Protein backbone atom coordinates (compact mmCIF):
# COMPACT_ATOMS: atom_id res chain seq x y z
CA UNK A 1 0.00 0.00 0.00
CA UNK A 2 1.80 3.03 -1.30
CA UNK A 3 0.14 5.46 1.11
CA UNK A 4 1.08 3.57 4.29
CA UNK A 5 4.68 4.07 5.43
CA UNK A 6 4.88 1.44 8.21
CA UNK A 7 6.40 -1.97 7.45
CA UNK A 8 5.70 -5.15 9.40
CA UNK A 9 8.96 -4.97 11.37
CA UNK A 10 8.11 -1.49 12.56
CA UNK A 11 4.57 -2.52 13.39
CA UNK A 12 5.92 -5.36 15.53
CA UNK A 13 8.40 -3.06 17.21
CA UNK A 14 5.69 -0.51 17.98
CA UNK A 15 3.37 -3.16 19.39
CA UNK A 16 6.26 -4.13 21.64
CA UNK A 17 6.60 -0.60 22.99
CA UNK A 18 2.83 -0.48 23.59
CA UNK A 19 2.89 -3.93 25.15
CA UNK A 20 0.39 -5.82 22.98
CA UNK A 21 0.90 -8.95 20.92
CA UNK A 22 -1.61 -8.41 18.14
CA UNK A 23 -3.25 -5.41 16.55
CA UNK A 24 -6.68 -6.57 17.65
CA UNK A 25 -5.54 -6.20 21.25
CA UNK A 26 -6.00 -2.47 20.58
CA UNK A 27 -9.59 -3.02 19.42
CA UNK A 28 -10.85 -4.86 22.49
CA UNK A 29 -13.48 -2.19 23.21
CA UNK A 30 -15.27 -3.14 19.98
CA UNK A 31 -17.83 -5.93 20.61
CA UNK A 32 -15.98 -9.03 19.53
CA UNK A 33 -18.66 -10.39 17.18
CA UNK A 34 -18.67 -7.07 15.32
CA UNK A 35 -14.90 -6.97 14.79
CA UNK A 36 -13.35 -7.59 11.37
CA UNK A 37 -16.57 -8.05 9.37
CA UNK A 38 -16.20 -9.64 5.97
CA UNK A 39 -16.74 -6.96 3.37
CA UNK A 40 -17.63 -7.22 -0.27
CA UNK A 41 -14.96 -4.79 -1.45
CA UNK A 42 -12.15 -5.17 -3.98
CA UNK A 43 -8.50 -5.21 -2.89
CA UNK A 44 -6.17 -2.26 -3.42
CA UNK A 45 -5.06 -1.22 -6.89
CA UNK A 46 -2.01 0.47 -8.34
CA UNK A 47 -2.01 4.03 -9.60
CA UNK A 48 -2.18 3.04 -13.26
CA UNK A 49 -5.23 0.85 -12.79
CA UNK A 50 -7.12 3.39 -10.68
CA UNK A 51 -6.44 6.02 -13.31
CA UNK A 52 -7.85 3.75 -15.98
CA UNK A 53 -11.07 3.14 -14.03
CA UNK A 54 -11.61 6.80 -13.22
CA UNK A 55 -10.83 7.94 -16.74
CA UNK A 56 -13.39 5.41 -17.97
CA UNK A 57 -16.05 6.95 -15.74
CA UNK A 58 -15.07 10.46 -16.83
CA UNK A 59 -15.33 9.46 -20.48
CA UNK A 60 -19.00 8.66 -19.98
CA UNK A 61 -19.72 12.33 -19.34
CA UNK A 62 -19.95 15.04 -21.93
CA UNK A 63 -17.69 17.89 -20.87
CA UNK A 64 -19.12 21.39 -21.24
CA UNK A 65 -16.11 22.40 -23.30
CA UNK A 66 -16.77 19.66 -25.86
CA UNK A 67 -19.09 21.81 -27.95
CA UNK A 68 -21.60 24.66 -27.91
CA UNK A 69 -22.86 25.01 -24.38
CA UNK A 70 -25.72 27.17 -23.04
CA UNK A 71 -26.72 25.79 -19.62
CA UNK A 72 -26.78 28.09 -16.58
CA UNK A 73 -29.38 28.39 -13.80
CA UNK A 74 -26.94 28.81 -10.93
CA UNK A 75 -23.79 27.24 -12.43
CA UNK A 76 -21.87 28.83 -15.28
CA UNK A 77 -19.12 27.83 -17.63
CA UNK A 78 -16.38 30.45 -17.54
CA UNK A 79 -12.73 30.56 -18.44
CA UNK A 80 -10.42 30.24 -15.43
CA UNK A 81 -6.86 31.58 -15.83
CA UNK A 82 -4.19 28.89 -15.43
CA UNK A 83 -2.68 30.78 -12.49
CA UNK A 84 -5.75 30.06 -10.36
CA UNK A 85 -5.48 26.28 -10.45
CA UNK A 86 -1.74 26.43 -9.98
CA UNK A 87 -2.08 28.51 -6.82
CA UNK A 88 -4.81 26.40 -5.25
CA UNK A 89 -2.69 23.30 -5.81
CA UNK A 90 0.18 24.75 -3.78
CA UNK A 91 0.66 22.22 -0.99
CA UNK A 92 0.62 24.92 1.66
CA UNK A 93 -2.89 25.97 0.65
CA UNK A 94 -4.28 22.63 -0.51
CA UNK A 95 -3.22 20.56 2.50
CA UNK A 96 -3.59 23.10 5.32
CA UNK A 97 -6.23 22.82 8.00
CA UNK A 98 -8.60 25.50 9.30
CA UNK A 99 -6.37 28.36 10.53
CA UNK A 100 -6.74 27.67 14.25
CA UNK A 101 -3.04 28.40 14.87
CA UNK A 102 -2.80 31.88 13.38
CA UNK A 103 0.97 32.21 13.78
CA UNK A 104 1.51 29.52 11.16
CA UNK A 105 -1.61 30.10 9.08
CA UNK A 106 -1.14 33.71 7.99
CA UNK A 107 -1.28 32.63 4.35
CA UNK A 108 -4.81 31.31 4.67
CA UNK A 109 -5.90 34.08 7.00
CA UNK A 110 -4.63 36.89 4.80
CA UNK A 111 -6.36 35.58 1.69
CA UNK A 112 -9.58 35.13 3.66
CA UNK A 113 -9.29 38.78 4.71
CA UNK A 114 -8.73 39.72 1.08
CA UNK A 115 -11.68 37.54 0.04
CA UNK A 116 -13.94 39.25 2.60
CA UNK A 117 -12.82 42.65 1.34
CA UNK A 118 -13.48 41.72 -2.30
CA UNK A 119 -16.91 40.26 -1.56
CA UNK A 120 -17.97 43.26 0.54
CA UNK A 121 -16.93 45.63 -2.26
CA UNK A 122 -18.59 43.60 -5.03
CA UNK A 123 -21.89 43.28 -3.21
CA UNK A 124 -21.83 46.88 -2.00
CA UNK A 125 -22.02 45.77 1.63
CA UNK A 126 -20.08 46.64 4.79
CA UNK A 127 -18.84 43.19 5.70
CA UNK A 128 -18.61 39.67 4.34
CA UNK A 129 -17.75 36.35 5.93
CA UNK A 130 -15.03 33.93 4.86
CA UNK A 131 -17.43 31.88 2.67
CA UNK A 132 -20.23 29.34 2.96
CA UNK A 133 -20.82 25.96 1.32
CA UNK A 134 -22.57 27.45 -1.70
CA UNK A 135 -25.14 30.01 -2.76
CA UNK A 136 -28.19 27.92 -1.87
CA UNK A 137 -27.13 27.08 1.67
CA UNK A 138 -26.04 30.69 2.14
CA UNK A 139 -29.58 31.77 1.18
CA UNK A 140 -31.05 29.37 3.74
CA UNK A 141 -28.68 30.72 6.40
CA UNK A 142 -29.72 34.27 5.49
CA UNK A 143 -33.35 33.38 6.22
CA UNK A 144 -32.35 31.96 9.61
CA UNK A 145 -30.26 35.05 10.32
CA UNK A 146 -33.19 37.35 9.48
CA UNK A 147 -35.22 35.40 12.00
CA UNK A 148 -32.62 36.06 14.71
CA UNK A 149 -32.45 39.75 13.84
CA UNK A 150 -36.19 40.46 13.52
CA UNK A 151 -37.48 37.79 15.92
CA UNK A 152 -40.17 37.03 13.31
CA UNK A 153 -40.83 33.79 11.52
CA UNK A 154 -42.31 34.43 8.11
CA UNK A 155 -40.05 34.24 5.07
CA UNK A 156 -41.21 35.36 1.62
CA UNK A 157 -39.40 34.12 -1.48
CA UNK A 158 -39.83 35.83 -4.83
CA UNK A 159 -41.18 33.81 -7.73
CA UNK A 160 -37.96 34.41 -9.62
CA UNK A 161 -35.84 32.74 -6.98
CA UNK A 162 -34.06 29.60 -8.23
CA UNK A 163 -36.46 26.83 -7.16
CA UNK A 164 -33.62 24.77 -5.68
CA UNK A 165 -32.71 27.74 -3.47
CA UNK A 166 -36.34 28.09 -2.43
CA UNK A 167 -36.45 24.39 -1.58
CA UNK A 168 -33.33 24.61 0.57
CA UNK A 169 -34.85 27.57 2.41
CA UNK A 170 -38.05 25.57 2.97
CA UNK A 171 -36.14 22.59 4.33
CA UNK A 172 -34.16 24.62 6.83
CA UNK A 173 -36.75 27.15 7.95
CA UNK A 174 -39.73 24.86 8.30
CA UNK A 175 -37.77 22.58 10.63
CA UNK A 176 -37.89 25.25 13.29
CA UNK A 177 -41.48 26.16 12.65
CA UNK A 178 -41.03 29.11 10.32
CA UNK A 179 -43.42 29.78 7.48
CA UNK A 180 -41.98 30.08 3.98
CA UNK A 181 -44.21 31.65 1.34
CA UNK A 182 -43.41 31.78 -2.34
CA UNK A 183 -44.70 34.35 -4.76
CA UNK A 184 -46.06 32.98 -8.05
CA UNK A 185 -43.55 32.18 -10.78
CA UNK A 186 -43.60 34.71 -13.63
CA UNK A 187 -41.13 34.05 -16.43
CA UNK A 188 -41.81 37.42 -18.01
CA UNK A 189 -40.71 39.18 -14.87
CA UNK A 190 -44.06 40.69 -13.98
CA UNK A 191 -45.64 40.21 -10.62
CA UNK A 192 -44.28 41.39 -7.35
CA UNK A 193 -43.96 40.16 -3.84
CA UNK A 194 -44.42 43.67 -2.47
CA UNK A 195 -48.07 43.03 -1.59
CA UNK A 196 -47.15 39.97 0.45
CA UNK A 197 -44.91 41.86 2.89
CA UNK A 198 -46.50 42.50 6.27
CA UNK A 199 -45.49 43.20 9.85
CA UNK A 200 -44.85 39.50 10.55
CA UNK A 201 -42.32 39.18 7.74
CA UNK A 202 -38.74 38.53 8.77
CA UNK A 203 -37.31 38.88 5.28
CA UNK A 204 -38.04 38.83 1.60
CA UNK A 205 -35.63 36.89 -0.55
CA UNK A 206 -35.23 38.24 -4.06
CA UNK A 207 -32.90 37.02 -6.79
CA UNK A 208 -31.51 39.38 -9.45
CA UNK A 209 -30.92 38.56 -12.22
CA UNK A 210 -33.69 36.09 -11.41
CA UNK A 211 -33.78 32.45 -12.47
CA UNK A 212 -35.28 33.46 -15.84
CA UNK A 213 -32.56 36.04 -16.32
CA UNK A 214 -34.65 39.14 -15.62
CA UNK A 215 -32.93 41.94 -13.79
CA UNK A 216 -35.07 43.00 -10.84
CA UNK A 217 -35.44 46.40 -9.22
CA UNK A 218 -34.48 45.81 -5.60
CA UNK A 219 -34.74 49.41 -4.37
CA UNK A 220 -38.53 49.58 -4.22
CA UNK A 221 -38.71 46.18 -2.53
CA UNK A 222 -36.09 47.22 0.02
CA UNK A 223 -38.11 50.30 0.84
CA UNK A 224 -41.30 48.31 1.29
CA UNK A 225 -39.56 45.67 3.39
CA UNK A 226 -37.91 48.24 5.62
CA UNK A 227 -41.21 50.08 6.12
CA UNK A 228 -42.51 46.85 7.67
CA UNK A 229 -39.37 46.14 9.68
CA UNK A 230 -38.36 43.26 7.44
CA UNK A 231 -34.97 42.62 5.84
CA UNK A 232 -34.23 42.37 2.14
CA UNK A 233 -32.07 39.39 1.27
CA UNK A 234 -30.66 39.70 -2.25
CA UNK A 235 -29.59 36.53 -4.06
CA UNK A 236 -27.09 36.53 -6.91
CA UNK A 237 -26.41 33.22 -8.67
CA UNK A 238 -24.10 34.69 -11.31
CA UNK A 239 -21.31 36.57 -9.53
CA UNK A 240 -19.94 37.97 -12.80
CA UNK A 241 -23.09 40.11 -13.06
CA UNK A 242 -21.75 42.16 -10.15
CA UNK A 243 -19.18 43.56 -12.56
CA UNK A 244 -21.79 45.39 -14.59
CA UNK A 245 -24.95 45.79 -12.52
CA UNK A 246 -25.71 48.15 -9.67
CA UNK A 247 -24.75 46.31 -6.51
CA UNK A 248 -27.49 44.90 -4.25
CA UNK A 249 -26.01 46.98 -1.44
CA UNK A 250 -26.52 50.19 -3.43
CA UNK A 251 -30.16 49.13 -3.86
CA UNK A 252 -30.81 48.74 -0.15
CA UNK A 253 -30.23 45.05 0.52
CA UNK A 254 -29.54 44.09 4.15
CA UNK A 255 -27.99 40.73 3.40
CA UNK A 256 -26.50 39.62 0.08
CA UNK A 257 -25.86 35.98 -0.67
CA UNK A 258 -24.32 34.75 -3.87
CA UNK A 259 -22.89 31.74 -5.64
CA UNK A 260 -19.22 32.47 -6.24
CA UNK A 261 -18.56 29.50 -8.56
CA UNK A 262 -18.36 31.75 -11.61
CA UNK A 263 -15.18 33.38 -10.39
CA UNK A 264 -12.29 30.94 -10.28
CA UNK A 265 -14.18 27.68 -9.81
CA UNK A 266 -15.03 24.90 -12.25
CA UNK A 267 -18.53 23.51 -12.88
CA UNK A 268 -17.74 20.25 -11.03
CA UNK A 269 -21.23 18.83 -11.66
CA UNK A 270 -22.59 21.05 -8.91
CA UNK A 271 -19.89 21.18 -6.25
CA UNK A 272 -17.73 22.12 -4.54
CA UNK A 273 -18.82 25.73 -4.94
CA UNK A 274 -18.37 28.78 -2.75
CA UNK A 275 -21.13 30.74 -1.07
CA UNK A 276 -20.70 34.49 -0.66
CA UNK A 277 -22.36 36.09 2.34
CA UNK A 278 -22.32 39.85 3.01
CA UNK A 279 -24.31 42.11 5.31
CA UNK A 280 -24.66 45.48 6.94
CA UNK A 281 -22.12 46.07 9.67
CA UNK A 282 -24.69 46.25 12.48
CA UNK A 283 -25.69 42.65 11.76
CA UNK A 284 -22.20 41.23 12.22
CA UNK A 285 -22.85 39.34 15.44
CA UNK A 286 -25.86 37.58 13.92
CA UNK A 287 -23.91 36.31 10.93
CA UNK A 288 -23.26 32.62 10.40
CA UNK A 289 -19.93 31.24 9.30
CA UNK A 290 -16.32 32.08 9.76
CA UNK A 291 -14.86 35.58 9.98
CA UNK A 292 -11.27 36.68 9.65
CA UNK A 293 -10.16 39.91 11.33
CA UNK A 294 -7.09 42.09 11.41
CA UNK A 295 -5.03 42.42 14.58
CA UNK A 296 -1.40 42.71 15.73
CA UNK A 297 1.02 40.18 17.16
CA UNK A 298 3.22 40.41 20.24
CA UNK A 299 5.75 42.42 18.25
CA UNK A 300 3.13 44.87 17.00
CA UNK A 301 3.19 43.44 13.50
CA UNK A 302 -0.05 43.35 11.52
CA UNK A 303 -1.59 39.90 11.33
CA UNK A 304 -4.91 38.08 10.94
CA UNK A 305 -6.98 35.75 13.11
CA UNK A 306 -10.36 34.05 13.04
CA UNK A 307 -12.58 36.27 15.12
CA UNK A 308 -16.01 36.66 16.75
CA UNK A 309 -16.00 32.90 17.21
CA UNK A 310 -18.33 33.29 20.18
CA UNK A 311 -21.09 33.12 17.57
CA UNK A 312 -19.91 29.71 16.50
CA UNK A 313 -20.84 26.16 17.34
CA UNK A 314 -17.71 25.29 19.23
CA UNK A 315 -18.33 28.00 21.82
CA UNK A 316 -22.08 28.53 21.83
CA UNK A 317 -23.05 24.94 21.07
CA UNK A 318 -26.85 24.91 21.10
CA UNK A 319 -27.02 28.73 20.94
CA UNK A 320 -24.69 29.08 17.95
CA UNK A 321 -25.64 31.18 14.93
CA UNK A 322 -25.45 28.01 12.85
CA UNK A 323 -24.12 24.47 13.06
CA UNK A 324 -21.57 25.21 10.34
CA UNK A 325 -18.08 24.07 11.27
CA UNK A 326 -16.21 24.78 8.06
CA UNK A 327 -16.11 27.06 5.04
CA UNK A 328 -15.12 26.67 1.40
CA UNK A 329 -11.58 27.87 2.00
CA UNK A 330 -9.94 26.54 -1.13
CA UNK A 331 -12.80 27.65 -3.39
CA UNK A 332 -12.65 31.06 -1.73
CA UNK A 333 -8.95 31.12 -2.58
CA UNK A 334 -9.73 30.35 -6.21
CA UNK A 335 -12.22 33.22 -6.16
CA UNK A 336 -9.70 35.58 -4.61
CA UNK A 337 -6.90 34.71 -7.03
CA UNK A 338 -9.15 35.08 -10.07
CA UNK A 339 -10.68 38.28 -8.69
CA UNK A 340 -7.27 39.77 -7.95
CA UNK A 341 -6.19 39.09 -11.54
CA UNK A 342 -9.36 40.61 -12.94
CA UNK A 343 -9.56 43.64 -10.70
CA UNK A 344 -12.70 45.76 -10.97
CA UNK A 345 -11.71 46.79 -14.49
CA UNK A 346 -11.27 43.23 -15.70
CA UNK A 347 -14.45 42.03 -14.04
CA UNK A 348 -16.37 44.77 -15.83
CA UNK A 349 -14.80 43.78 -19.16
CA UNK A 350 -15.64 40.15 -18.48
CA UNK A 351 -19.22 41.09 -17.61
CA UNK A 352 -19.59 43.08 -20.82
CA UNK A 353 -18.38 40.11 -22.87
CA UNK A 354 -20.91 37.90 -21.11
CA UNK A 355 -23.71 40.34 -21.77
CA UNK A 356 -22.78 40.74 -25.42
CA UNK A 357 -22.66 36.98 -25.96
CA UNK A 358 -26.10 36.65 -24.41
CA UNK A 359 -27.52 39.52 -26.50
CA UNK A 360 -26.22 37.93 -29.68
CA UNK A 361 -27.59 34.53 -28.68
CA UNK A 362 -31.00 36.00 -27.87
CA UNK A 363 -31.10 37.80 -31.22
CA UNK A 364 -30.13 34.68 -33.12
CA UNK A 365 -32.80 32.58 -31.39
CA UNK A 366 -35.48 35.27 -31.71
CA UNK A 367 -35.18 35.04 -35.48
CA UNK A 368 -36.35 31.43 -35.47
CA UNK A 369 -40.04 30.94 -36.19
CA UNK A 370 -41.99 30.08 -33.07
CA UNK A 371 -39.24 31.08 -30.61
CA UNK A 372 -40.14 33.90 -28.27
CA UNK A 373 -37.61 35.65 -26.01
CA UNK A 374 -39.49 36.55 -22.84
CA UNK A 375 -37.09 38.96 -21.15
CA UNK A 376 -37.19 42.70 -21.33
CA UNK A 377 -33.86 42.90 -19.50
CA UNK A 378 -31.16 40.33 -18.84
CA UNK A 379 -27.46 39.94 -18.11
CA UNK A 380 -26.03 36.68 -19.50
CA UNK A 381 -29.09 34.48 -19.28
CA UNK A 382 -32.59 34.71 -20.70
CA UNK A 383 -35.68 32.58 -21.24
CA UNK A 384 -37.30 31.56 -24.48
CA UNK A 385 -40.68 29.95 -25.04
CA UNK A 386 -40.56 27.19 -27.63
CA UNK A 387 -43.48 25.81 -29.65
CA UNK A 388 -42.82 22.35 -28.17
CA UNK A 389 -41.57 20.59 -25.06
CA UNK A 390 -38.19 22.08 -24.17
CA UNK A 391 -36.81 18.96 -22.47
CA UNK A 392 -37.29 16.98 -25.67
CA UNK A 393 -35.56 19.70 -27.65
CA UNK A 394 -32.63 19.76 -25.22
CA UNK A 395 -32.29 15.99 -25.32
CA UNK A 396 -32.35 15.90 -29.12
CA UNK A 397 -29.85 18.75 -29.45
CA UNK A 398 -27.57 17.04 -26.92
CA UNK A 399 -27.37 14.10 -29.32
CA UNK A 400 -26.16 16.59 -31.92
CA UNK A 401 -23.44 17.86 -29.60
CA UNK A 402 -25.16 21.01 -28.38
CA UNK A 403 -26.20 21.66 -24.78
CA UNK A 404 -29.03 24.07 -25.46
CA UNK A 405 -29.81 25.26 -21.94
CA UNK A 406 -31.95 24.17 -19.01
CA UNK A 407 -35.55 23.18 -19.80
CA UNK A 408 -38.20 24.54 -17.45
CA UNK A 409 -39.32 21.03 -16.54
CA UNK A 410 -35.90 20.31 -15.02
CA UNK A 411 -36.53 23.00 -12.39
CA UNK A 412 -40.34 22.82 -12.14
CA UNK A 413 -41.19 19.19 -13.03
CA UNK A 414 -44.80 19.47 -11.91
CA UNK A 415 -45.61 22.80 -13.54
CA UNK A 416 -47.06 22.42 -17.04
CA UNK A 417 -46.74 26.16 -17.67
CA UNK A 418 -42.98 25.85 -17.79
CA UNK A 419 -42.77 22.80 -20.08
CA UNK A 420 -42.00 24.83 -23.17
CA UNK A 421 -39.57 27.20 -21.47
CA UNK A 422 -35.86 27.00 -22.14
CA UNK A 423 -33.41 29.00 -20.01
CA UNK A 424 -30.35 29.88 -22.03
CA UNK A 425 -27.03 31.22 -20.72
CA UNK A 426 -24.07 32.54 -22.68
CA UNK A 427 -20.70 33.59 -21.29
CA UNK A 428 -17.33 34.83 -22.49
CA UNK A 429 -16.50 31.32 -23.72
CA UNK A 430 -19.46 31.35 -26.11
CA UNK A 431 -18.26 31.96 -29.65
CA UNK A 432 -20.13 33.29 -32.66
CA UNK A 433 -19.76 29.84 -34.19
CA UNK A 434 -21.40 28.29 -31.09
CA UNK A 435 -24.32 30.67 -31.42
CA UNK A 436 -24.70 29.98 -35.12
CA UNK A 437 -24.58 26.21 -34.58
CA UNK A 438 -27.16 26.45 -31.82
CA UNK A 439 -29.52 28.54 -33.96
CA UNK A 440 -29.25 26.22 -36.94
CA UNK A 441 -29.79 23.12 -34.81
CA UNK A 442 -32.75 24.62 -32.97
CA UNK A 443 -34.34 25.74 -36.21
CA UNK A 444 -33.92 22.25 -37.62
CA UNK A 445 -35.35 20.66 -34.48
CA UNK A 446 -38.40 22.91 -34.46
CA UNK A 447 -39.18 22.40 -38.13
CA UNK A 448 -38.87 18.62 -37.97
Partner 1 sequence: MTMNNQGRPTRPEQTADVLPQTHTGNRALQIEEPLIFEVGDFRGTGVDFPEAEGVPSRLGDFAADDAPALPGLAEPEAMRHFVRLSQKNYAIDTGLFPLGSCTMKHNPRLNEKMARLPGFADVHPLQPQSTVQGAIDVIERVGDWLKELTGMPAVAMSPKAGAHGELCGMMAIKAALIARGEADTRTRVLAPDSAHGTNPATAAQCGFTVDGIPADKTGRVDLEAFKAKLGPDVAAIMVTNPNTCGLFERDIRQLADLVHEAGGYFYCDGANFNAIMAKARPGDLGVDAMHINLHKTFSTPHGGGGPGSGPTVLSDALAPYAPIPFVIHREGRFTLVEDKSDPAAKDSFGRMVAFHGQMGMFVRALTYMLSHGGDGLRQAAEDAVLNANYIQARLKTEMTPAFDGTCMHEALFDDRFLKDTGVGTLDFAKAMIDEGFHPMTMYFPLVVSGAMLIEPTETESKQSIDQFCDALLGLAREAKAGNAEKFKAAPVYAPRRRLDETAAARKPVLKWTAPVDASMAAE
**Distances from the Cα of 72 to the Cαs of 65, 159, 262, 366, 411, in angstroms?**
14, 18, 10, 19, 12
Instruction: Tell me the closest approach of the beta carbon of residue 22 to partner 1, in angstroms.
Output: 10
Instruction: Tell me the closest approach of the beta carbon of residue 230 to partner 1, in angstroms.
Output: 22
Q: Which is nearer to partner 1, 183 or 402 (CB)?
A: 402
CB–CB of 279/127 below 8 Å? yes
Instruction: Tell me the closest approach of the beta carbon of residue 94 to partner 1, in angstroms.
Output: 5
Instruction: Tell me the closest approach of the beta carbon of residue 198 to partner 1, in angstroms.
Output: 24
Instruction: Tell me the closest approach of the beta carbon of residue 413 to partner 1, in angstroms.
Output: 5
Q: In whole angstroms, what is the distance from residue 400 CA to residue 310 CA? A: 55
Q: Which is nearer to partner 1, 199 or 314 (CB)?
A: 314
Backbone CA torsion sign across 427, 431, 435, 441: negative
Q: Which is nearer to partner 1, 229 or 381 (CB)?
A: 381
CB–CB of 426/69 below 8 Å? no
Instruction: Tell me the closest approach of the beta carbon of residue 9 to partner 1, in angstroms.
Output: 10
Q: Which is nearer to partner 1, 199 or 444 (CB)?
A: 444
Burial class (CB in 10 A: 0-12, 13-18, 19+), 194: middle
For 258, phi then psi, to 5°, come to -150, 155
Q: In whole angstroms, what is the distance from residue 324 CA to residue 329 CA? A: 13
Q: Which is nearer to partner 1, 126 or 440 (CB)?
A: 126
Angle (nearest 5°) at CA 415 between 414 and 416? 115
Alpha-carbon radius of gyration of the chain:
25
Q: Which is nearer to partner 1, 232 or 353 (CB)?
A: 353
DSSP 239: G
Which residues 6+ apart lie within 8 Å of 169 measured at CB? 139, 140, 143, 155, 157, 180, 205
DSSP 56: H
Q: Which is nearer to partner 1, 24 or 199 (CB)?
A: 24
Instruction: Tell me the closest approach of the beta carbon of residue 380 to partner 1, in angstroms.
Output: 10
Amino acid sequence: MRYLPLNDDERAQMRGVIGVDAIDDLFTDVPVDALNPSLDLPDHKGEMEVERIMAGLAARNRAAGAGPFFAGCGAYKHHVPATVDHIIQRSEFLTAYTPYQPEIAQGTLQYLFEFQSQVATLTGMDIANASMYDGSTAAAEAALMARRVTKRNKVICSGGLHPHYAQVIHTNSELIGDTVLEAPTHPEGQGSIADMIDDDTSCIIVQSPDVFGNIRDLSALAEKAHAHGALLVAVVTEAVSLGLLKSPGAQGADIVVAEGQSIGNALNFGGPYVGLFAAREKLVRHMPGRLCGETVDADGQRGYVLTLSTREQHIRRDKATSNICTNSGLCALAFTVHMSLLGGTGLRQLAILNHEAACKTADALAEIDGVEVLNTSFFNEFTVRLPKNAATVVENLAHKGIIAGVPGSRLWPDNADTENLLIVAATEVTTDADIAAFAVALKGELSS
